[in-house]
């Protein structure tokens, strides 16, 4: 008879919001912890796992009575409450690698302050896992992980290997984290059923029971139940001895006992044969993803670089709380859109608050640098709080150089000007074109005067300017009688040496100049009988292709060429009452597509404004491919991931399994067939059958009315409570920003580099800032275009740069300026080998720092 030691880890999994809104769960948290704390103090409960995310502790301490808060903190200091390492349990595919890094950074710092940091990468419920997670964990000194979804191995222990070779000993919760046998009437039977199911898959005599579940109390009689169980003679072929334990202790014992026995699993984990990964959350409530990426891009591509390069005080506390607010939005049930409507209504409010914070941070930086003013001054040399952008600065927010044309918005007071003059401080004129113009009003409230509006016009300009890494360039913009204003034409054709776009007889075709091959863009809609987690086709999905475009007009102004098109789609208003096919009533959806070519760029810039009036459906953007694709490539957190094409095979009837995953995540870029597409928050793509071949399909809108259902052909059991969510129908207007181009090169290093560069320009564009300043640090440029920039920020008196390498070759950092050193380890300490080359290993993540010079070395 085999004998197993079972580590009983008492835990709660604490979604901060899901089927209840946040405040309701906060109140429940207070009640649960009022139950747990006395058990810990009495010794009946020896250790409590507080779900691996410190935001729950933050909520508790913010709302608990001072006496209770002090008791909780005392237990944490004693190591009786396991905290962290995460701040929240984020979805790993819908946020950047940098956000995951900051999530760990904040969570581990919080847990360390409280005294209860557990050194285990605990990820019990996220919907699959990125391939670089072992490397991220190791950068913070974490060498083990515990997880559930996405894994498909025979054993409950394995070595998870990142693309760079980082190896993490991992425990696979083969039956999931939600185990509460001690809470049920037949607790002995439930316990034996669980242990008998996991024991055959263990590679050692150590087993893990995560006793608890979502928002659950601990058992009042746990200690006695364990004693009674251990005193009972063994049943069956195995003997189990239960021991209350902490998660790190069980993990360490298990990994020590299985050293050399564990199989390897390499890369991302999105298999769903053993546990649902709920893949269609990638497109549920896409408007949340758009809000999120906008805020994330502003923090990483505007605010932090500004405070890094301007010699101004850095509001570290305000930046920290801004990051916390953003990361709270990344919690998997939040950003995935799979909660009740009130949760996502509150998320919209928090995203609006984030936007307000980001505006305030930008204003702080510019004001402290003397570029803007918050008070009216009698000194003529100082800026006015009512100033416009006549004096402005172009700023490159990344260390990679930016060349060519940049699109920026400029606000000028007064009447509309037929043209503009754009010059630098040396009176050198910059090539530019007006792309669009509209009347605009700003409202300002000085600290020492009455608030007042300022009326004028906002000009969207295309400006040609080359900028070094992190360089700023002061400009003057004035009205003129020149010819920079918008021109117009009637021929529905855009072309340069790289790409040709033409709308003929309603058909929108894209091609290489001189090539006979034509690619016709389209939209495609089909009914969706699924829920917020999974798409599910009804028996009659009523598929419809929308491929006839109406030309609104063309606008040709120098190097900037624009084609504006209208598209309409008649769709069933919703599913019929049986949810088997379309309703009899139809509605009309409509959109305006703006396509723009800038200079000789191979990428077509696109904006689609789409008004959806149809429920229970999915609408996708279709890029037909000339030849079938075997694999696709897309960006993920700190990685460029190549995946085999899986064509969807929809079951005919519901079952207790989830159909094989066909949709894939993309953070901001995807290459499939001859298409390169970069985007903001269009994060679900799939290769689909199309006419006689295949197409790249990118989801625009997925309209569903249920949190979860139990009648899906793609997943026949529930993934959450069966609750209506009319807000998830996503009715109304949405805006989609993306760019696309044709590329006949194979999926490889050159194509990867070009596509990621285009994505970076879209997501972190050159900034136009109001005013001038002489308080800029000197530019810092990285001359290796292969390396991808994750973040640029100030840390104390240092400039910090984090990059990642998407290739299988070691890459030199190639910074033009001296003084950079690599920092390593959980505390990001300077490498002991100060002469070590500034390199990034294959598929590696690396952080570098440079001491910032004093104010005497500032540049205009």
pLDDT tens digits, 487-501:
566 678 899 999 999
pLDDT at 380: 73
Q: Are residues 159 and 253 in the same domain?
A: yes
Listed residue (86, 213, 202, 187) closest to 154, CA to CA: 202
pLDDT at 825: 63
Is 789 among the domain residues? yes
C-alpha separations of 171 from 107, 134, 209, 443, 643 in Å: 21, 13, 12, 56, 25
Q: Which residue has the higher pLDDT, 829 or 807?
A: 807
Q: Are strands 821-824 and 845-851 parallel, antiparallel or unpaired?
A: antiparallel
Residue ending a domain, choose from 763, 785, 814:
763
CATH of the domain at 688: 2.70.98.30
Listed residue (697, 692, 658, 662) closest to 677, CA to CA: 697
| Strand intervals (E) in 417-559 | 419-424, 432-444, 452-464, 472-480, 493-495, 500-504, 507-511, 519-520, 522-527, 544-546, 550-557
Task: Supply the DSSP symbol for 699.
Answer: E
Lowest-pLDDT range of 67-76, 212-221, 431-440, 601-610: 212-221
Angle, CA of 801, 807 and 810, to the nearest 5°: 70
Is 510 among the domain residues? no
SS3 (DSSP) at 590:
strand
Q: Residue 378 pLDDT > 90, yes or no? A: no
Listed residue (700, 787, 811, 661) closest to 286, CA to CA: 700
| Residue reference for tokens 């529905």 | 492
| Residue reference for tokens 């999120």 | 292
User: Which H helix or E strand runs over 325?
Assistant: helix 316-329
Is 500 among the domain residues? no
C-alpha separations of 2 from 155, 189, 236, 237, 254 in Å: 17, 19, 10, 7, 16
SS3 (DSSP) at 53:
strand
Distance of CA 37 to the CA centre of its chain: 35
Is 550 among the domain residues? no
Task: Report residue 856's pLDDT band, with 50, 70 and 90 as the boundaries.
Answer: very low
Task: Report residue 604's pLDDT band, with 50, 70 and 90 as the boundaries.
Answer: very high
CB neighbour class for 131 (10 Å; exposed up to 12, middle 13-18, buried from 19): buried
pLDDT in tens, 336-362: 999 999 999 999 999 999 999 999 999
C-alpha separations of 611 from 487, 512, 523, 555, 575 in Å: 28, 31, 13, 24, 19
Q: Are residues 743 and 648 in the same domain?
A: yes
Cα distance between residue 227 and residue 214, in whole Å: 26
Taking residues 778-783, report their average pLDDT.
Answer: 98
Task: Report residue 162's pLDDT band, with 50, 70 and 90 as the boundaries.
Answer: very high
Contacts of 591 (CB under 8 A, 6+ apart): 566, 567, 568, 608, 609, 610, 611
| Strand intervals (E) in 743-787 | 767-770
Task: Report residue 857's pLDDT band, with 50, 70 and 90 as the boundaries.
Answer: very low
Is 471 among the domain residues? yes
pLDDT at 488: 62
Task: Supply the DSSP symbol for 84.
Answer: -
Cα distance between residue 512 and residue 496, in whole Å: 9
Q: Are residues 435 and 339 in the same domain?
A: no
Q: Are residues 128 and 26 in the same domain?
A: yes
pLDDT in tens, 461-477: 999 999 999 999 999 99
pLDDT at 667: 98
Contacts of 227 (CB under 8 A, 6+ apart): none
pLDDT at 827: 54
pLDDT in tens, 789-809: 999 999 999 999 999 999 999
Q: Are residues 756 and 788 in the same domain?
A: no
Q: Are residues 62 and 134 in the same domain?
A: yes
> Up-side HSE of residue 509: CA atoms within 13 Å toward CB?
14
Which residue intervals of 498-643 are DSSP H helices?
Answer: none
Contacts of 650-653 with C-beta under 8 Å, sequence gap 24+, read 650/536, 650/537, 650/713, 650/714, 651/713, 651/714, 652/713, 653/713, 653/716
If one counts the domains in the chain, the total is 4
CB neighbours (10 Å) of residue 394? 22
Is 34 among the domain residues? yes
For the chain, how many residues are written?
860
Residue ending a domain, choose from 738, 763, 788:
763
What distance, in Å, lies between the first and last C-alpha atoms of the chain?
78
Rg of the chain on CA atoms, in Å: 28
Residue ending a domain, choose from 717, 744, 763:
763
Q: Are residues 621 and 536 in the same domain?
A: yes
Q: Residue 293 pLDDT > 50, yes or no? A: yes
Cα distance between residue 551 and residue 546, in whole Å: 15
Provide the domain limits for residue 419: 391-486
Task: Supply the DSSP symbol for 364.
Answer: H
Q: Residue 483 pLDDT > 80, yes or no? A: no
CB 673 within 8 A of CB 625: yes
CB 781 within 8 A of CB 399: yes
Which tokens in the block code for residue 776? 């800029």
Q: Are residues 666 and 581 in the same domain?
A: yes
> Up-side HSE of residue 797: CA atoms within 13 Å toward CB?
5
pLDDT at 406: 97
Strand partners, 703: 617
Angle, in degrees to the nearest 10, between helices 97-114 and 316-329: 110
Cα distance between residue 451 and residue 444, in whole Å: 6
pLDDT in tens, 619-647: 999 999 999 999 999 999 999 999 999 99
pLDDT in tens, 738-763: 999 999 999 999 999 999 999 999 99
CB neighbours (10 Å) of residue 77? 13
pLDDT at 855: 54
pLDDT at 759: 99
Which tokens in the block code for residue 27? 């109140």
CATH of the domain at 38: 3.20.110.10
pLDDT at 828: 59
Rounded to the nearest integer, the mean pLDDT of the chain is: 95
pLDDT at 858: 40
CB neighbours (10 Å) of residue 34? 14
| Residue reference for tokens 């440029």 | 781
pLDDT in tens, 575-594: 999 999 999 999 999 999 99
Cα distance between residue 490 and residue 470, in whole Å: 40
> Up-side HSE of residue 282: CA atoms within 13 Å toward CB?
27
User: Which H helix or E strand runs over 631?
Assistant: strand 631-636
Is 511 among the domain residues? no
Q: Are residues 817 and 747 in the same domain?
A: no
CATH of the domain at 364: 1.20.1270.50
CB neighbour class for 431 (10 Å; exposed up to 12, middle 13-18, buried from 19): middle
Q: Are residues 181 and 78 in the same domain?
A: yes
Task: Report residue 833's pLDDT band, with 50, 70 and 90 as the boundaries.
Answer: low
Q: Residue 860 pLDDT > 60, yes or no? A: no
pLDDT in tens, 22-80: 999 999 999 999 999 999 999 999 999 999 999 999 999 999 999 999 999 999 999 99
Q: Are residues 457 and 395 in the same domain?
A: yes
Is 502 among the domain residues? no
Cα distance between residue 625 and residue 622, in whole Å: 9
Q: Are residues 723 and 667 in the same domain?
A: yes
């Amino acid at each position: 008879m085999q004998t197993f030691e079972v580590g009983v880890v008492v835990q709660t999994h604490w979604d901060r919001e899901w089927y209840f809104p946040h405040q309701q769960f906060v109140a429940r948290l207070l009640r649960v912890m009022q139950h747990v704390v006395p058990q810990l103090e009495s010794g009946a409960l020896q250790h409590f796992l507080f779900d691996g995310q410190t935001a729950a502790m933050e909520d508790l301490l913010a709302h608990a009575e001072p006496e209770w808060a002090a008791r909780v903190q005392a237990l944490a200091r004693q190591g009786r409450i396991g905290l962290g390492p995460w701040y929240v349990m984020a979805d790993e595919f819908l946020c950047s690698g940098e956000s995951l890094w900051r999530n760990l950074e904040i969570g581990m710092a919080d847990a360390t302050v409280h005294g209860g940091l557990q050194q285990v990468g605990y990820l019990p419920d996220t919907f699959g896992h990125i391939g670089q997670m072992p490397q991220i964990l190791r950068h913070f000194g974490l060498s083990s992980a515990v997880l559930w979804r996405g894994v498909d191995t025979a054993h409950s222990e394995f070595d998870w290997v990142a693309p760079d070779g980082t190896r993490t000993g991992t425990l696979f919760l083969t039956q999931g984290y939600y185990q509460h046998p001690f809470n049920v009437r037949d607790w002995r039977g439930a316990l034996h059923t669980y242990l008998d199911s996991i024991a055959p898959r263990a590679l050692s005599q150590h087993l893990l029971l995560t006793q608890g579940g979502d928002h659950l109390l601990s058992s009042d009689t746990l200690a006695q139940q364990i004693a009674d169980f251990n005193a009972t003679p063994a049943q069956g072929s195995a003997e189990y001895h239960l021991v209350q334990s902490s998660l790190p202790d069980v993990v360490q014992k298990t990994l020590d006992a299985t050293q050399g026995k564990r199989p390897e699993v390499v890369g991302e984990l999105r298999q769903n044969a053993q546990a649902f990964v709920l893949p269609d959350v990638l497109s549920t409530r896409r408007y949340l993803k758009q809000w999120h990426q906008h805020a994330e891009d502003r923090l990483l591509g505007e605010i932090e670089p500004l405070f890094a390069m301007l010699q101004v005080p850095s509001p570290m506390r305000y930046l920290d709380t801004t990051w916390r607010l953003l990361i709270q939005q990344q919690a998997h049930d939040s950003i995935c859109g799979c909660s009740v409507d009130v949760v996502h209504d509150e998320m919209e409010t928090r995203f609006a608050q984030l936007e307000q914070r980001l505006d305030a941070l930008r204003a702080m930086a510019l004001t402290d640098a003397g570029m803007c003013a918050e008070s009216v001054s009698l000194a003529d040399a100082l800026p006015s709080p009512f100033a416009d952008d006549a004096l402005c600065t172009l700023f490159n927010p990344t260390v990679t150089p930016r060349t060519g044309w940049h699109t920026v918005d400029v606000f000028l007071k007064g009447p509309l000007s037929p043209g503009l003059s754009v010059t630098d401080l040396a009176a050198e004129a910059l090539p530019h074109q007006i792309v669009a113009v509209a009347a605009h009003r700003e409202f300002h409230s000085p600290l020492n005067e009455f608030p007042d509006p300022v009326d004028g016009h906002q000009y969207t300009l295309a400006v040609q300017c080359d900028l070094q890494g992190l360089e700023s360039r002061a400009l003057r913009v004035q009205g003129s009688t020149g010819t920079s204003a918008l021109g117009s034409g009637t021929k529905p054709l855009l072309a340069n040496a790289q790409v040709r776009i033409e709308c003929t007889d309603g058909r929108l075709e894209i091609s290489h100049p001189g090539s006979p091959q034509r690619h016709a863009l389209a939209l495609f809609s089909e009914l969706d009988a699924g829920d917020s987690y999974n798409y599910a086709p009804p028996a009659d999905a009523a598929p419809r292709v929308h491929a006839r475009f109406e030309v609104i007009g063309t606008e040709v102004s120098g190097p900037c060429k624009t084609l504006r098109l209208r598209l309409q789609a008649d769709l069933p208003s919703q599913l019929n009452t049986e949810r088997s096919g379309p309703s009899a009533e139809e509605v009309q959806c409509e959109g305006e597509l703006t396509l723009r070519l800038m200079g000789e760029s191979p990428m077509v810039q696109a904006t689609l404004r789409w008004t959806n009036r149809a429920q229970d459906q999915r609408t996708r953007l279709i890029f037909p491919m000339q030849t079938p694709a075997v694999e696709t490539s897309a960006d993920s957190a700190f990685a460029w991931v190549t995946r085999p094409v899986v064509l969807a095979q929809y079951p005919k009837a519901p079952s207790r399994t989830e159909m094989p995953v066909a949709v894939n995540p993309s953070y901001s870029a995807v290459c499939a067939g001859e298409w390169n597409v970069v985007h903001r928050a269009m994060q679900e793509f799939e290769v689909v059958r199309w006419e006689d071949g295949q197409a790249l399909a990118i989801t625009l809108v997925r309209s569903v009315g249920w949190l979860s259902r139990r009648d899906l052909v793609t997943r026949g059991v529930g993934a959450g409570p069966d609750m209506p969510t009319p807000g998830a129908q996503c009715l109304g207007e949405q805006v989609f920003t993306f760019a696309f181009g044709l590329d006949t090169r194979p999926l490889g290093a050159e194509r990867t580099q070009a596509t990621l560069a285009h994505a970076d320009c879209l997501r972190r564009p050159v900034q136009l800032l109001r005013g001038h300043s002489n308080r800029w640090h000197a530019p810092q440029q990285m001359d290796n275009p292969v390396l991808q920039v994750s973040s640029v920020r100030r840390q104390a008196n240092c400039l910090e740069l984090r990059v990642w390498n998407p290739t299988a070759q070691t890459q030199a950092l190639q910074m033009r300026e001296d003084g950079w050193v690599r920092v390593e380890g959980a505390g990001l300490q300077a490498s002991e080998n100060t002469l070590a080359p500034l390199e990034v290993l294959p598929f590696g993540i690396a952080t570098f720092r440079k001491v910032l010079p004093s104010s005497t070395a500032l540049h205009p």
